[in-house]
Amino acid sequence: MFPATHATAEHAITLPLSADEAFPLFTPEGERLWIEDWNPRYFYPANGETITGMVFTTGHGDEATYWTLVDFDNAAHKARYSRVTPGSRSVIVEVKCEAASEHDARVTVRYSLTGLSEAGNAAIAAFVEGYAAMIEDWRTKILVYLERQPHAILGGV
């Protein structure tokens, strides 16, 4: 058995939205709004409704990733996903939105990653190295989306 890498990466960003407005942007359907190549395919429920137990896949080929929404608390603005890229890595993704000020939300995204192969270990090392920059890029993409659709969030995603 090879020695599996285990790593944790966490980073927070602030968005000019309430937590109620920000949290839907971090659901599978919400991410479609601001991530150009995000295209989840739903197994359960087939309509992509964000509920505990939902199962979907992203990517393709060797990078097909299977996701399960393990915990979802819309009122508390928390979600926890388990995702597996077969033969590569297993990951827990946690998202939490909370008020940072009267008009801003602090969004904390935490990844806990475990390698399932040498290639997975290498992918984890590269991911952790670029993690903070990736989450900051998410912030930039969301701000661009908000500039283009300033009223889209007010009614929810």
Cα separation, 115 vs 85, whole angstroms = 10
- How high is the pLDDT of residue 150? 63
Q: At what angle do helices 131-148 and 118-129 cross, to 10 degrees?
A: 60
Look at 59-63, 84-88, 114-118 and tell me which has the smallest mean pLDDT.
59-63
Question: Which residue do the tokens 């359907």 mark?
Answer: 29
Q: Which has more confidence, 154 or 141?
A: 141
DSSP per residue, 111-130: EEEEESSHHHHHHHHHHHHT
Q: Is the pLDDT of residue 155 over 50?
A: no
What separation in angstroms does the CA of 131 have from each of 51, 56, 136?
27, 23, 9
Residue 143 pLDDT: 96
pLDDT tier for residue 152 given thresholds of 50, 70 and 90: low
User: Among 8-12, 41-45, 130-134, 145-149, which stretch is predicted with the lowest mean pLDDT?
Assistant: 145-149
Q: What is the pLDDT of residue 154?
A: 45
Distance, in Å, from the CA atom of 154 to the CA atom of 112, rounded to the nearest integer, reads 32
Distance in Å from the first CA to the final CA of the chain: 45
- Average pLDDT value over all residues in the chain: 94
pLDDT of amino acid 24: 97
30-68 pLDDT tens trace? 999 999 999 999 999 999 999 999 999 999 877 899 999
Residue 53 in tokens: 């137990």
79, containing H or E segment: strand 78-85
**pTM for this entry:** 0.92
CATH number of the 6-148 domain: 3.30.530.20
Whole-number pLDDT of residue 149: 82
